Copies of this chain bind each other. A is one copy, B any other.
């Protein structure tokens, strides 16, 4: 299941429902990303997530389907906030269910690298020093490049 959420969500509750829905899987890997309250030089109040009305969801769905095939996953959950996300709040939950742990881990790791650099989102960081649009770090692109088949 892929969803873009305009409001805060509870990652544990969503992960619990996901786990219950995946019958027979031996391994569930997950990642929760939270808005950090510190950037390099300022106190972060919130992020504002811009997205494309159709392309963002379609891109994530295509990436999730490709990952499901590549790693033989039983199921995938990706929830991503859009709009304003306060410091400390969850911005993303990615979870993968597989028969064995390596497939679950690698697919989840891959999906997060994908979301960081290849999914149509744009992050505005709103701090006590002003606002700035965030672009991926060089390391993020390097991480994403690990998965080229």
- Using Cβ atoms and an 8 Å threshold, which residues of chain B touch A26? 33-36
Q: Which residue of B lies closest to A37 (CB)?
A: B24
Tell which of A12, A25, A26, A33 has the most Cβ of chain B within 10 Å: A12
Q: Return A8 CB to nearest CB of chain B, in Å.
A: 13
Cα-based distance from A32 to B23 in the complex (angstroms): 14
Q: Is the CB of A19 within 8 A of B28?
A: no
8 Å CB contacts to B: which residues of A48-76?
A: none
What distance in Å separates the Cβ of A5 from its nearest Cβ neighbour in chain B?
A: 17
List which A75-123 residues lie within 8 A (CB) of chain B. 88, 99, 101-102, 104-105, 108-109, 112, 116
A positions within 8 Å CB-CB of B: 10-13, 15-16, 19, 23-38, 88, 99, 101-102, 104-105, 108-109, 112, 116, 139, 143
